[in-house]
Chains A and B, each alone.
Chain A
């Protein structure tokens, strides 16, 4: 019941996440100003995209056009007057925490942006009105573009896929476990029906109905509970992702889908699992649940061996070739085989070890081994779920490793460029001076200038040298096309060969009319938030770009969030599964019998704790091996030959935490539950 309810809640939550994330891109587009060729501008706009603490901040600068009726920005009561600004609730809270963020909002804040004007409930957005003078603003006609800037929806597709993997797979496994437990409970009755002469079809129908009737109500209850929960979670952003919930009709449809699909899956699983009873009803009495043989272990080992060999082969030859479809199929096949074979094989191994365990062990350990030996269903279920989660964590870690490697040096600093659109020489000099820019570029109709020391120029442009190969010298003014990078004249943004001043910035020399020149600041940044604040305080109309992938940071952040989510999911699903199988598993009857015999509740609880610890520890080993093997294999598939020690550490930590927390929690729950049962008037006997 508990497992089905958890599956219902998480299933509905997953659909809401997927639908909610899907609404980000259209909202982003709807909130973007757009123009039309030939149409008269109704307002002027410029979108400033910056970041704060890794999250995007979008400030839309707007200015009215005299004589034109400017359309009201979505979520605002009216078109803002020059010098005023509206901010989103999330940005308002962030400003309250860190007033330096006020630099992102030129003008006096006069109100909040309503839900219609937000990309997500937690988006940091501002709409600020100016008089439009001096800045390079675009002529706009309306609100609503074919596509938004994408910063809020960066990696949305990848996120949705990741959510499906992180949440959807464990839900499927959980449903299977629920069906297996319910089916085990139905097996005796199925066998009795077979003995009465029921046909296999009738037995399958009975088992399917039994499984459905004992689990679907809880599944549907969970789905119903998931509807309001998804709204709260989506609006608060507590799981690292925020989204606007769909309408109640869509929510209801999601719950119905979860109930229908879940019920069908449970019925199907129940019918399939009933085959054991129809095959040989006399065996049911002595059959152990999930009694896989040693062959399963071999399948798991072979799959791991193949993946290891593939990884080693690509590593040795340092292959840079893209993985073929065949290789990817082999990778996925081995993954499934390793998870399935490893889980079932572990159960077989543990069963053998349990059968051999002498009975002169301490009481709790002795009973725990016997329980594992008798019913290894818990081992299979937990090992499978934990292996899946481990793979998600390590593959997520691999992606993050790739992104981090692409985007930042060893010290964690990154190169950023700020395009000061509309700043004059004075503003540019001030921004360059206060933000510690390494290189300043001035690009205008009359040519281009670049300021920077030789090492900084080399860091930004590459290997800088004179035409004859002589190294760049500091303190000189090189005429255009006299310094070269890789055989080409050093060119500023836009490709114009630049006059190069190999010295630190000299504000006196930096001049320029904002209508005719654009300044670009490039710096090695170790505190992006502060750096952007300083730039924006000097010149509000700025476009920031990072060296490499513009959105790599956001992707990295998204992946980090998802990995954190998967680690949390790891713990939650692990605990839920243990609780579910404990509450409904066949060993619960053993607890009751031991209590009737005179066992103290504490002794029974200790047995449960030890059982859980043994099962989780062994399942953790399988999860760790499978997770690390496939994380490394994934890196090799995408031609990255690094050892992801970070994922190894985090995964190990999470597994240790899971074993300790769940074992203790299971024992505590059992102690409370058993003591309550022991005190009740008739619970033990009825």
Chain B
């Protein structure tokens, strides 16, 4: 049976830098995978390939039977909008929008009615414990609140794939746990697949599988298991 998410032999070259040198990855629906490895190994680039933000120079990224390299700009935008939710280290929230507006943005972009989008955004923010800050802008709230809002934005449209790039990297351990908990519960509740880049072994151990990325390549058949990281 073919995995719904497959990266095979992905090579990404940025000018003189080879960010990925033949990475492979397969995942099934509902699985959670941690990408670990030293800085500059290519973890974020692999994540970006899965999100349709980077086209591999060679190799393929196949999602649900579609090769992303064959999609045009509009199809890639639709893919990201409807099938992917992203949480980045710094949140990537739009600074001019309130938390609630940031969360409803994917729904609005997808054509949802403003009232419905607003309701769902507020409900989700309340669910994640940041309902009281919903009408404040990202610059006016704490890093933990902003990051939970970013998690809400990644989940609000019930994506099949959630990509997280060090979502707790800029947070203290208490806030990091809150964010991680919200992310894992949200992903599990929606049956989504989670791919998370992290340097934190404890966080990696919370996921189903750990894949190491080193020198632009993933660990081949013998994926690292959480216990190996301990």
Write the nearest CB–CB distance from B140 to chain A, whole angstroms. Answer: 6
Proximity bits, B46-63, A CB within 8 Å = 1, else 0: 001001011101000000
- Interface hits, B61-101 → A, CB 8 Å: 72-74, 76-82, 84, 86, 92-97, 101
Chain B residues near A413 (CB, 8 Å)?
Answer: none
Q: CB within 8 A of B14: which of A375, A600, A686?
A: A686
A649 interfacial contact with B, CB 8 Å: no
Given A360-B115, A598-B80, A685-B54, the answer on whether A675 and B73 have CB atoms closer than 8 Å is: yes
- Is B108 located at the chain interface by the 8 A CB criterion? yes
Q: How large is the interface on B (under 10, 10 to 19, 20 to 34, 35 or more residues)?
A: 35 or more
Q: Determine if B139 and A285 form an interchain contact, defined as CB atoms under 8 angstroms apart.
A: yes
Residues of B contacting A598 in the complex (Cβ-Cβ under 8 angstroms): 77-82, 84, 106, 109-110
Let me know if A597 and B96 touch, CB within 8 A: no
Q: List the one stretch of A176-184, A448-456, A618-626, A676-684 in contact with chain B.
A: A676-684
B96 touches A681 (CB 8 A): no
User: Are B77 and A370 in contact (CB-based, < 8 A)?
Assistant: no
A596 at the interface (CB under 8 A from B): yes
Q: A596-B80, A598-B82 are in contact. Are A681 and B54 (CB under 8 A)?
A: yes
**Chain B residues in 8 Å Cβ range of A678:** 73, 76-77
Q: Are A587 and B109 in contact (CB under 8 A)?
A: no
A360–B51 alpha-carbon span in the complex (Å): 29
Chain A residues with Cβ below 8 Å from B97 are 367, 370
CB distance from A671 to the nearest CB of B (A): 11
Q: How far is the CB of B69 from chain A (nearest CB, A)?
A: 10
Q: Chain B residues near A684 (CB, 8 Å)?
A: 53-54
The CA-CA distance from A678 to B140 in the complex, in Å, is 31
Given contacts A596-B86, A597-B105, contact A679 B96 (CB under 8 A): no
A191 CB, nearest partner CB in chain B, Å: 13
Which chain A residues border B199 with CB–CB below 8 Å?
none
Task: Decide if A594 touches B114 in the complex (CB within 8 Å).
Answer: no
| Contact yes or no, B106 A682, CB < 8 A | no
**Closest chain B residue to A359 by CB distance?**
B101
Asked if A341 is at the interface (CB within 8 A of a chain B CB), the reply is: no
Verify A363–B109 contact, CB threshold 8 A. Answer: yes
Closest residue to B77 on the A side, CB-wise? A600
Quick check: B12 and A359 within 8 Å, CB to CB? no
A675's nearest neighbour on chain B, judged by CB, is B73
Residue among B51, B78, B92, B105 with max Cβ neighbours from chain A (10 Å): B105
Q: Is the CB of A370 within 8 A of B101?
A: yes
Report Cα–Cα, A367/B97, bound state, in Å.
8
Contact assessment for B140 and A286 in the assembled complex, using a CB-CB cutoff below 8 Å: yes
**Which chain B residue has the least Cβ–Cβ distance from A284?**
B139
Partner pick for A374 among B81, B82, B96, B108, CB 8 A cutoff: B96
Complex Cα–Cα for A466 and B95 (A): 86
Interface of B is mostly: helix
Chain A: CB-nearest residue to B136: A286
Question: Is A160 close to B, CB under 8 A?
Answer: no
The reply to whether A681 and B55 contact each other, CB–CB distance below 8 Å, is yes
Chain B residues with Cβ under 8 A from A2's Cβ?
Answer: none
**B137 interfacial by beta-carbon distance below 8 Å:** yes
Q: Are B94 and A685 in contact (CB under 8 A)?
A: no
Contact residues in A for B101 (Cβ distance below 8 Å): 359, 370
Whether, in the assembled complex, A601 has its beta carbon less than 8 Å from a beta carbon of chain B, the answer is yes
Residue A599 at the B interface, CB < 8 A? yes
- B160 contacts the other chain (Cβ, under 8 Å)? no
Task: Name the contact of B94 in the complex, choosing from A286, A590, A679, A681 (C-beta under 8 A).
Answer: A590
In the complex, how many angstroms separate the beta carbon of B99 from the nearest chain A beta carbon?
12
Chain A nearest CB, measured from B61 CB (Å): 13
Task: Report the separation of the CA atoms of residues A371 and B93 in the bound assembly, to the nearest whole angstrom.
Answer: 13
Q: What is the minimal beta-carbon distance from A228 to any residue of chain B, in angstroms?
A: 33
Instruction: Indicate which residue in B48, B78, B96, B106 contacts A590 across the interface (CB closer than 8 Å).
Output: B96
Chain B residues within an 8 Å CB radius of A366: 108, 114
Contact of B86 among A286, A367, A597 (CB under 8 A): A597
A155 within 8 A of B: no
Q: How many angstroms between the C-alpha atoms of A281 and B2 in the bound complex?
A: 53
Residues in chain B near residue A593, CB distance under 8 A: 92-94
Is residue A595 contacting chain B, with contact meaning CB distance below 8 A?
yes
* B118 at interface, CB cutoff 8 A: yes
Contacts of A371 in B (CB 8 A): 96
Closest A-chain residue to B154, C-beta based? A597
CA distance A367 to B94 in the complex (A): 10
- Cβ of B73 and Cβ of A601 under 8 Å apart? yes
- Chain B residues lying within 8 Å of A373, measured Cβ to Cβ, are 96
- Nearest A residue to B78 by beta-carbon distance? A598
Contact among A361, A590, A603, A679 with B109 in the assembled complex (CB-CB below 8 Å): A603
Q: Which residue of A lies closest to B95 (CB)?
A: A374
Whether the Cβ atoms of A685 and B109 lie closer than 8 Å is: no
For A374, A590, A598, A601, the residue with the greatest tally of chain B CB atoms inside 10 Å of its CB is A598
Evaluate whether A286 and B139 lie within 8 angstroms (CB atoms) in the complex, with A595-B77, A596-B53, A598-B109 already known. Answer: yes
Knowing A285-B139, A370-B101, the reply to whether A600 touches B74 (Cβ < 8 A) is yes
Q: Which of A370, A374, A679, A681 is in CB contact (< 8 Å) with B57? A: A681
CA distance A675 to B75 in the complex (A): 12
**With A360-B115, A678-B76 given, can you name 14 additional A-B contacts, CB distance below 8 Å?**
A361-B114, A363-B108, A370-B94, A587-B96, A590-B95, A594-B94, A596-B92, A598-B80, A600-B73, A600-B77, A601-B74, A675-B73, A682-B48, A684-B54
27 A-B pairs whose Cβ atoms sit less than 8 Å apart in the complex: A286-B137, A366-B114, A370-B96, A371-B96, A374-B95, A590-B94, A593-B94, A596-B51, A596-B92, A597-B81, A598-B77, A598-B80, A599-B109, A600-B77, A601-B74, A601-B77, A602-B74, A603-B109, A675-B73, A681-B12, A681-B57, A682-B12, A682-B14, A682-B53, A684-B53, A684-B54, A686-B14
In the A-B complex, list the 5 residue pairs whose CB atoms are closest, starting with the nearest.
A598-B81, A374-B96, A678-B73, A598-B80, A360-B114
